[in-house]
Amino acid sequence: MISPAEAARLKNLELIARTIVEGFLIGLHRSPFQGFSVEFSEYRPYQPGHSLDQIDWRVFARTNRLYVRRYEEETNLQAYLLIDTSGSMRYPTTAAPKKLDYALFLSAALAYLLIQQRDAVGLYLFDERIRQYLPARARQTWLRRLFQALEPYRDASPEKAPTLLPQALHQIADRLKRRSLLILLSDFFLAEEDPEPLLQAIARLRLAGHDLLLIRIWDEKTEKYFQLPTEPLHLLSAEDAHQVKIHPIELAPLYQTYITTYEEKLRRFCLGLKIDYLPIDLGTSFFVPLYQYLLKRARLL
């Protein structure tokens, strides 16, 4: 399957999305994971109550199973991709892909997969506020519009845009009128130290009836394990003008304590509300989050 670094070298998101999804489907068939088929995009199992006229008898002849063809206007699911585009998502500045690039590639693949499944997909891009919104649509032609919205953020230069994740999620909650699957892609780094406002915003979405898949994208080496050079460093904030001189060896234990506590609190919170939470490193294969999405979708239908 195409790696995140290989995806970063391709020219456009449509090509990236198609390549990722095709590799993913091949990987499903070659792996021990069973229960999904490329036919899911066009058929669903026959259930009592379906008209016999809807049965595809050619598929029955090949598989000895009853399937009904799904029609273009059918939508089983409404999903929104919520993408954090703040300054911290433009890290690392000297390597590819950035966290935001990974989020864009994965979002493009998810959109491709959703629409192939005849599901409706919409989009929110945000940092300190909502920057762009596209409503959920299930038409194949809608996919190009989604790619056009995502493309300008590829390989985005550092921008001092703060993360106001709780505020953005409350704004999104105000807009959502129909129960949806919300896939949030962020590094979950906050402008404030206290995570409670974020947890309250997530809880509001969950208690409103939405299903959530939270995907935390980060560079684990530096952002989780704090593996930095041992000499004194000047750290520059990705989201404001703040900078600080540090001694990594001295700061590492304090940082590790904070990040471990925050991560565990977020994980336990999601477990309590039956929210899927998936932290992934920048080098993680796209197979992992895509398979997590399929498991999530299978439970919802």
Q: Give per-residue pLDDT as tens, 252-283.
A: 899 999 999 999 999 999 999 999 999 999 99
Tokens 């995570």 found at: 195
Segment 6-34 mean pLDDT: 82
Separation of alpha carbons 233 and 248, rounded Å = 7
Segment 13-26 mean pLDDT: 92
Which pLDDT band, with edges at 50, 70 and 90, does 82 fall under? very high
Cα dihedral sign, 36-37-41-45: negative
Segment 109-118 mean pLDDT: 92
Q: And the tokens for 64?
A: 């000895």
pLDDT at 38 over 50: no
Residue 35's pLDDT is: 44
pLDDT at 206 over 90: yes
Separation of alpha carbons 84 and 87, rounded Å = 9
pLDDT at 130 over 90: yes
Separation of alpha carbons 17 and 149, rounded Å = 14
Segment 107-126 mean pLDDT: 94
Separation of alpha carbons 198 and 188, rounded Å = 9
Separation of alpha carbons 215 and 89, rounded Å = 13
Q: pTM of the predicted model, to two decimals?
A: 0.84
Separation of alpha carbons 168 and 170, rounded Å = 5
Domains of the chain (ranges, CATH numbers)? 4-29+73-300 (3.40.50.410), 37-69 (no CATH)
Can you give the C-alpha Rg of the chain in angstroms? 21
pLDDT at 112 over 60: yes
Residues 87, 161: contact at Cβ < 8 Å? yes
Residues 279, 216: contact at Cβ < 8 Å? yes
Q: And the tokens for 69?
A: 């063809």
Residues 6+ apart with CB under 8 A from 96: 5, 8, 9, 155
Mean confidence (pLDDT) of the chain: 86
Distance of alpha carbon 301 from the chain centroid = 19
Segment 89-100 mean pLDDT: 88
Percent of the chain, pLDDT > 70?
83
- Residue 256: which of 245, 244, 264 has the closest Cα? 264
Segment 52-67 mean pLDDT: 68
Q: And the tokens for 254?
A: 């304090």
Tokens 């919520």 found at: 82
pLDDT at 55 over 90: no
Please name every residue paired with 208 in a beta bridge, in sequence order, or none if there are none: none
Provide the residue type at 34 as one letter.
Answer: Q
Residue 198's pLDDT is: 96
Q: What is the pLDDT of residues 165-186, one digit of tens each?
A: 999 999 999 999 999 999 999 9
Residue 276's pLDDT is: 97
